[in-house]
Amino acid sequence: MKTNRIVLMVLVICCFFVTPVWSGGQEETKEITLVMVPKLVHPFYEPCYEGFEAAGKEYGVNTEFEAPQKAEVDLQVKVIENLIARGVDGIAISATDDTGLKGVVREALDAGIMVIMFDADAPSTDRLCYVGTNNRNAGKAAGEKMVELMGPAGGKTALLLATLGAPNLLERAEEFAKVFKASGPQYNIVATEGFESDLAQAVNKTEALLQTYPDMRAFFGVSAYGAPAASTVLREQNKAGKILVGSFDDLEETLSGIRDGSIQYTIVQKTFNMGWLSVETLLDAIEGKEVPDMVDTGVVIVTKDNIDTYMQDMKKELE
């Protein structure tokens, strides 16, 4: 009897000190962590992460931003490998390279981590979904706008790309070129130059192109820094407004150029929406729901006419 009383006392004491695994009949769950991995640290990705973070707060999940220092696939792979080692729940990647990410994306999925692409797709990987701009449609819209502004006389145009190997930029450039070709031989793309995401290099490329083609009619920045570089050179050479400039994205320099007339238009991606919808897509995948191969976030052509209202109009789409 004495032995039984001792055993009973020990059991009672244990009940006071053991932390219960169940609370209210439900098992405590780990906080979900979703991570945005852009190509590099760049102002373009700031509104993307604003949307990503805002959606995370709305849905009660943890969000993080992890960027390589340069737009190089090896550096991006290293960032993703570190996230796999940490065991995060979902990753949204802006692909620096298509085939170069195949292995690490497969590794993440095999580890139970949901992986989607945003902004720049990597279709040859096993990613679950691409959330972002349909770059072919955007490139077509950009080409049509430039043809409209150039008028029937046409002229020589140069394309400025941050990275010549980036799939999203190549798709835009290809569709822009198709519009020119279909519009007549007077619409002529004389050069396609890469500048490695370096504004100074983009300025140097623009200056060299103007020397080679003094009768240049237009520049189109296929990626964010292209148009600000071109407009800077044109202002310095007193050619702003005389040579047309089209752009992608809404850097502050680009918007300033539209206001002062050195840039005529820009194709703005719905970056805030891109980040928000990336969170929703990852959460659907984590919950086992079927996700589409692509979520097209669309674009808006920004000119002087809508420069002060376009951002509010985009955010209203999520209401």
Residue 64 lies in a domain: yes
Residues 163 and 284 in one domain: no
Residue 304: is its pLDDT beyond 80? yes
Taking CA atoms, 12 is separated from 1, 294, 313, in Å, by 17, 57, 63
The model's confidence at residue 21, banded by pLDDT at 50, 70 and 90, is: very low
How far apart are alpha carbons 197 and 230 in whole angstroms?
14
Residue 24: is its pLDDT beyond 90? no
Residue 25 lies in a domain: no
Residues 128 and 157 in one domain: no
Residue 17 lies in a domain: no
The model's confidence at residue 29, banded by pLDDT at 50, 70 and 90, is: low
Residue 193 lies in a domain: yes
- The mean per-residue pLDDT over the stretch 5-24 comes to 39
Residue 244 lies in a domain: yes
Residue 28: is its pLDDT beyond 70? no
Residues 172 and 106 in one domain: no
Residues 39 and 83 in one domain: yes
Residues 84 and 174 in one domain: no
Residues 265 and 140 in one domain: yes
Residues 141 and 93 in one domain: no
The model's confidence at residue 318, banded by pLDDT at 50, 70 and 90, is: confident
Confirm if 154 and 179 have CB atoms less than 8 A apart.
no
Q: Note the pLDDT tens digit of each residue in 93-142.
A: 999 988 999 999 999 999 999 999 999 999 999 999 999 999 999 999 99
- Beta-strand relationship, 62-65 and 26-27: unpaired
Residues 144 and 257 in one domain: yes
pLDDT of 316 reads: 81
User: 62 Cβ partners below 8 Å, 6+ apart?
Assistant: 31, 32, 33, 34, 56
- Beta-strand relationship, 265-269 and 187-194: unpaired
Q: Note the pLDDT tens digit of each residue in 187-207.
A: 999 999 998 888 899 999 999
Phi, psi of 268 (to 5 degrees): -100, 125
Residues 214 and 285 in one domain: no
Residues 275 and 264 in one domain: no
Last residue of a domain, one of 226, 253, 269: 269
Residues 243 and 152 in one domain: yes
Residue 243 lies in a domain: yes
Confirm if 200 and 261 have CB atoms less than 8 A apart.
no
Facing residues of 218 across strands? Answer: 157, 244
User: Which CATH number is 220's domain given?
Assistant: 3.40.50.2300
Residue 252 lies in a domain: yes
What total of structural domains would you count in the chain?
2
- The mean per-residue pLDDT over the stretch 48-66 comes to 97
151 is in which domain, residue-wise?
Answer: 135-269
Residue 198 lies in a domain: yes
Residues 159 and 251 in one domain: yes
